[in-house]
């Protein structure tokens, strides 16, 4: 079982885990609160299972430029958002699709 202790460290308070310094706080009260939280957390087994995790989808924004404006389209789900004629790609695009949640870390392509 992990053992937490609090010891004076120069003019602050250190939280030690099995003798190894892990955290320094400037308040004895906060040190005792954190120690209690850590002790409770360690006493409860981790109940996460592989089913609790969701695979991250990866995609890219496909940018289409027309004289009437531009549009961006998610490569994963096809969600499209139209932009006005004054819109510029340099102004930025969301890093995630608002429809399917795909992380847009692929290269943006002109279409």
* 3 state DSSP class of 78: coil
- Residue 77 binned pLDDT confidence (cut-offs 50, 70, 90): very high
Which stretches of the chain are DSSP H helices? 28-43
Separation between Cα atoms, residue 66 and residue 110, nearest integer Å: 11
- What pLDDT does residue 53 have? 63
Q: What are phi and psi of 71, to 5 degrees?
A: -140, 155
Separation between Cα atoms, residue 58 and residue 91, nearest integer Å: 22
When pLDDT is averaged across residues 36-55 and rounded to a whole number, the result is 70
Residue 61: is its pLDDT beyond 70? Answer: yes
The burial class, CB within 10 Å (0-12 / 13-18 / 19+), for 65 is middle
Q: Please calculate the CA angle 62-68-70 and round it to the nearest 5 degrees.
A: 20
When pLDDT is averaged across residues 10-32 and rounded to a whole number, the result is 84
When pLDDT is averaged across residues 25-51 and rounded to a whole number, the result is 78
Structure tokens at 96: 């995630």
Helices first, then strands: H and E counts in the chain:
1, 9
């Amino acid at each position: 079982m992990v053992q937490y202790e609090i010891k004076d460290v120069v003019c602050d308070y250190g939280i030690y885990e099995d003798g190894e310094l892990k955290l320094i706080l400037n308040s004895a009260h906060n040190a005792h609160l954190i120690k209690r939280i850590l002790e409770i957390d360690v006493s409860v087994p981790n109940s996460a299972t592989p089913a609790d995790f969701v695979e991250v989808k990866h995609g890219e924004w496909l940018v289409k430029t027309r004289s009437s404006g531009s549009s961006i389209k998610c490569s994963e789900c096809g969600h499209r958002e139209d932009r006005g004629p004054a819109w510029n790609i340099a102004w930025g695009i969301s890093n995630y699709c608002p429809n399917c949640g795909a992380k847009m870390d692929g290269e943006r392509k002109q279409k």
